[in-house]
Amino acid sequence: MSDSPPDPIPVPVPSLRHGRYEDVQALVAGTLFVAMALMLFGQAGLLIGSTAGIAFLLHYLTDVSFGKLFFAVNLPFYWFAWTRMGREFTIKTFLSVAMLSGLTEMFPHVMHVDYLDPLFAAILGGLLLGTGCLFLARHKSSLGGATIVALYLQNRHGIRAGKVQMAIDCTVLALALFVVPPERVAYSVLAAVVMSLFLWVSHRPGRYVGE
């Protein structure tokens, strides 16, 4: 008779992969957070980096709505996403961009802020942007443009997405000096720094194990 302990009973490990309902919830919540931030920026006359910043600049120059321009500016990036990040990421990103474009078109008809301090808008908007982008990134989505490049560099080369995003955002905002007053650009840079620092701290490869 053996005195060795019995083999442990295997415990089934639950799947960590996100379900479809979880993905839908994250994409809707993430785009709502970002749409709220962009509404604050629009009310305060601020900008943002990435393709959203380009869309804002074109909006201020042409008076074409931000939602239409944002959707159009992101179109060239889908090929890169499809070939480098995969079909699932590209489809989710396309849906997120489409939802955000629609929400920014809708928000002026359902919400209006009578007074908004630009410093408060920069800090709150930056946090809302970071939170929304984090929701999307954890469910294999993004808001297109530079975010696709930032996530690709993080996943493939280990470069923090927050660092890449900050560099791109600051470049776009530097161009804004030719379009909007320097004071507004300074507040916009603050918002970009707040968002990027939030992502830098919160979005680390390996810390979040869901797929």
Tell me which of 63-72, 76-85, 87-96 is least confident: 76-85
Write out the chain in H/E/C secondary structure.
CCCCCCCCCCCCCCCCCCCHHHHHHHHHHHHHHHHHHHHHHHHHCCCCCHHHHHHHHHHHHHCCCHHHHHHHHHCCHHHHHHHHCCHHHHHHHHHHHHHHHHHHHHHHHHCCCCCCCHHHHHHHHHHHHHHHHHHHHHCCCCCCCHHHHHHHHHHHHCCCHHHHHHHHHHHHHHHHHHCCCHHHHHHHHHHHHHHHHHHHHHCCCCCCCCC
Q: What is the pLDDT of residues 99-144, one digit of tens each?
A: 999 998 888 888 878 889 999 999 999 999 989 988 888 888 877 7
pLDDT over 90 percentage in the chain: 15
Residue 9 pLDDT more than 90? no
For residue 4 the two structure tokens come to 């060795």
Number of Cβ within a 10 Å radius of residue 113: 11
Q: What is the pLDDT of residues 157-176, one digit of tens each?
A: 777 776 777 777 777 878 88
Q: What is the pLDDT of residues 12-57, one digit of tens each?
A: 444 456 667 888 898 999 999 999 999 899 888 888 877 888 888 8
pLDDT over 70 percentage in the chain: 86
- What is the structure's pLDDT at 110? 84
Residue 37: name the closest of 26, 48, 51, 22 by CA: 48
